[in-house]
A and B are shown apart, each in its own frame.
Chain A
Amino acid sequence: MHYVELLRARRALIWYGAILFSCVALGLALAFKDGPPKFQMSHGSNPSIPVEFLIAGAAIGPLILAAFLAVGLDAEFKTVAITWTRPIPRLAIALRYVAVDGGALLAAWVLTLAAVFITIFAIGIGKYLTFGDHVALSVLLVFGVAVMWYGLVVLVTTLLPGRGAAIAGGSWGYALIVPGLAHIPFPPLLHQVMVALNYLNPMAYLGQGSSARELIAGSGEQHVIAVWLIGLAAVAIATQIWTKREVPA
């Protein structure tokens, strides 16, 4: 049954890739409209573009796809006459779905990163790229954030069946609004609730700047462990629930 998810992921990646590279092509066309662009790097004598920064930025790809793909398992519930009548255990069906989605998230991240590097080298600022000590940590964090987002959406769609699209869309609202709420001077108890909500907000772990440090306690390594644990636990619970679901009356 993962064939269906393969087709769903392929369709999502084609659309995402087409839009992404169209934007890159358009951007480059505009940049080169009056000849090769000239950039002034304003970082003193040692201008640099940290690769960690690009890696984190490229997370937008898997994050967009995570919400889209995470509703696939819930959507399968509308076709149980096909999905659940295969000679394959339901848990295996669910795990294959998750594996396909994981591959698609990785592909989306690679596509996005490729688009970023193509743009950087095309406009001639590739020479400013610098590799810090935290590249591996950044990769793990970024992908963990996507896994966490995916896992939480899968879990919520499994708990609230038939509302996949609304939940996927709502996850973006949650991710973007909740950090802001944590900065509003609510009464202490409510403020703590808002801060706590950010621990379930994948985006809150992503920024390595000051806002993330304020919202989520712990080091970068602890953030990596947290996002992977939350994501994988959510996926594990969701797949178990999915296999035990019943078709309503």
Chain B
Amino acid sequence: MIAISGLTKRYKDVLAVDEMSLEIPSGSVCGLLGRNGAGKTTAFKCLLGFTRPDAGQIRFDGEPLTPATFLKLGYCPERPQLYGWLTVAQHLEIVRRTQPGYDAARAKELIGTFRLDMRKKAKRLSKGQQTALSLIVAIAHRPSLLILDEPASGLDPVMQRAVLDLLIDAATGGATILISSHQIGQIERAADHVAIMRDGKLVLAGELDDLRAGSKIVEATFEGAIPALDGFTGVSRFERAGLTVRAFANGETDAVARHLGELGGRGVRVLDRNLEDLFLDAVSDGGTL
């Protein structure tokens, strides 16, 4: 389990992370979403001890971060941090020498999956291959806790799928994963929990199914013109497309549907929201929890 409580980090005038609290249960995959500059990477830096938080606590399986935590923790950064002058094989040797849990067979399998040449220097690899090597370095010791900062960036769709499968495999094996990505579709496929940050604050967090169930889209089509959409409660925002209105309702779905019908809406129906809807809702100016 990864438990974050009241995490706050300020850089001079900028409050990069503002009292973030989040619990990621053991064996679950939590997608951390947010626009650029929302505070995701700063939160990761605090988690990993790369920077000291101004306030808050971080626990990994109930323990604070110590060097021993890295026996079971793997981290893949947003931009690959590799030794350009070392080969792929030498990078794996670093992991072998420093991680007692290093799994040579698994590392070899991953090298094959991502088609990396063991003799090639890191600086000669493509951006996607560097990302893949960075990921392999993070997971070659089969960590039970994984922190991944946009691990699929720069990869082609086939490799992105391979990364996704890898994460699902790790999660199936009981690993706890915290992953940030701008590819919401990937998060939706792999994650069972989601946390959304906006301006350093966590504005939405929970189990994905619960979040989906807790808010729906009520859609209705009007004839002639769309009337004034007044008197709604529990609606975070409206979307208009031609004569069709989509109301993003947080609970009270029946009341919203009834009100749209009273306003003359036809073909009123309630739709499930996908993660992208939840995300856009949470990061839009009107979106709050």
The judgment on whether A and B are partners is yes
Interface residues of A (CB under 8 A from B): 1, 3-4, 7, 11, 78-82, 84-90, 246-247, 249
CB <8 Å contact, B74 and A247: no
Chain B interfacial residues counted at CB < 8 A: 36
Provided the pairs A85-B74, A85-B75, A86-B70 are in contact, do residues A79 and B83 lie with their beta carbons within 8 angstroms? yes
Among the listed B51, B68, B86, which residue makes an inter-chain contact with A247, where contact means beta carbons less than 8 Å apart? B51
Bound: A3/B90 CA distance, A:
9
Interface-central residue, B73, B94, B97, by most chain A CB under 10 Å: B94
Among the listed A4, A7, A81, A88, which residue makes an inter-chain contact with B67, where contact means beta carbons less than 8 Å apart? A88
CB <8 Å contact, B98 and A247: no
Among the listed B73, B82, B90, which residue makes an inter-chain contact with A85, where contact means beta carbons less than 8 Å apart? B73
CB <8 Å contact, A4 and B11: no
**Residue on A with the closest CB to B79?**
A81
What 0/1 readout, one digit per residue, does chain B (53-75) give for beta carbons within 8 Å of chain A? 00000000000000111110111
Is B275 an interface residue, CB under 8 A from the partner?
A: no
Please name all residues of chain B whose beta carbon is closer than 8 Å to the beta carbon of A11 when the two chains form the complex.
Answer: 85
Please name all residues of chain B whose beta carbon is closer than 8 Å to the beta carbon of A82 when the two chains form the complex.
Answer: 81-83, 91, 94, 137
Bound: A216/B99 CA distance, A:
49
**Residue on A with the closest CB to B11?**
A249
Interface residues of B (CB under 8 A from A): 11, 14, 16, 42, 45, 48-52, 67-71, 73-77, 81-83, 85-86, 90-91, 93-94, 97-100, 134, 137-138
Pick the 10 closest A-B CB pairs, nearest first.
Answer: A81-B81, A247-B50, A81-B77, A86-B98, A87-B70, A249-B11, A246-B51, A87-B71, A79-B81, A89-B67
Output the least CB separation between B85 and chain A (Å). 8
Please name all residues of chain B whose beta carbon is closer than 8 Å to the beta carbon of A246 when the two chains form the complex.
Answer: 50-52
Bound: A3/B96 CA distance, A:
11
Bound: A194/B233 CA distance, A:
77
Please name all residues of chain A whose beta carbon is closer than 8 Å to the beta carbon of B77 when the two chains form the complex.
Answer: 81
Please name all residues of chain B whose beta carbon is closer than 8 Å to the beta carbon of A1 when the two chains form the complex.
Answer: 94, 98
Interface-central residue, A4, A7, A87, A249, by most chain B CB under 10 Å: A87
Output the least CB separation between A83 and chain B (Å). 9
Bound: A88/B49 CA distance, A:
13
12 contacts between A and B (CB under 8 A): A3-B97, A79-B82, A79-B83, A82-B94, A84-B49, A86-B99, A87-B70, A87-B98, A89-B67, A246-B51, A249-B16, A249-B42
Among the listed B50, B93, B134, which residue makes an inter-chain contact with A3, where contact means beta carbons less than 8 Å apart? B93
Among the listed B68, B90, B93, which residue makes an inter-chain contact with A87, where contact means beta carbons less than 8 Å apart? B68
Please name all residues of chain A whose beta carbon is closer than 8 Å to the beta carbon of B52 when the two chains form the complex.
Answer: 246
CB <8 Å contact, A4 and B83: yes
Please name all residues of chain A whose beta carbon is closer than 8 Å to the beta carbon of B99 when the two chains form the complex.
Answer: 86-87
Bound: A87/B48 CA distance, A:
12
Please name all residues of chain A whose beta carbon is closer than 8 Å to the beta carbon of B70 when the two chains form the complex.
Answer: 85-87
Known: A86-B98, A249-B16. 14 other contacts (CB 8 A): A1-B98, A4-B94, A7-B90, A79-B81, A79-B83, A81-B75, A84-B48, A85-B74, A87-B70, A87-B98, A87-B100, A88-B98, A246-B50, A246-B51
**Residue on A with the closest CB to B90?**
A7
